[in-house]
Amino acid sequence: MTTRITALILGSVLAVSAMSACSSDKAAPPATIGSLDSIAVPGGALGTVPAGLALDTLPTESAAALEISGSTFGAVTANAGQTITVNNADSVAHSVTADDGSFTVDVPAGGTADLVVAAAGTYAIHCRIHQNMTGSIVIS
């Protein structure tokens, strides 16, 4: 009889312990990131980030360039706010000037200059030095 009572008491204690563990008011601690080599997700629901994932492998905006050669502007399309590198292959200086006056940049002979256009649109351009040089820049 003592064995039966001991087993009954032990079973009751185990049952109460199991129930209190399931109904705990404590929330699981928030996940922390120790390193970018592997980020564990609580419960493994989403797995881990592969080791060696480099942030610089994410897609980046491609470079935009405006070529000047033979006193002619090449075609260029860029995003608003993107830097456009102007490459002047000619042996004389040029400018890239918006017909509406919104921007201008001087480009030395055989040199480069950077141009940033903030607003989207199609801009008619010309060279202030060589008025017959015209073209356009498309900003999206």
Is position 20 within any domain? no
Is position 86 within any domain? yes
Identity of the residue numbered 30: P
pLDDT tens for the chain, 140 residues long, are: 544 444 445 455 445 455 555 555 555 555 555 554 554 545 555 555 555 555 455 455 689 999 999 999 999 999 999 999 999 999 999 999 999 999 999 999 999 999 999 999 999 999 999 999 999 999 99
Is position 126 within any domain? yes
The pLDDT value given to residue 62: 80
Is position 24 within any domain? no
d(CA 85, CA 17): 70
The pLDDT value given to residue 124: 99
Query: Taking a C-beta distance cutoff of 8 angstroms, is the pair 125, 96 a contact?
Result: yes
If you average pLDDT over every residue of the chain, what do you get? Answer: 77
d(CA 80, CA 118): 5
Domain CATH number, residue 82: 2.60.40.420
The pLDDT value given to residue 125: 99
Is position 38 within any domain? no
Q: Write b or e for each residue in 122-139: b if 16 or more Cβ atoms lie within 10 A of its Cβ, otherwise e.
A: ebebbbeeeeebebebeb
**Number of domains comprising the chain:** 1
Is position 32 within any domain? no
d(CA 21, CA 140): 59
- Structural domain containing residue 77: 64-139
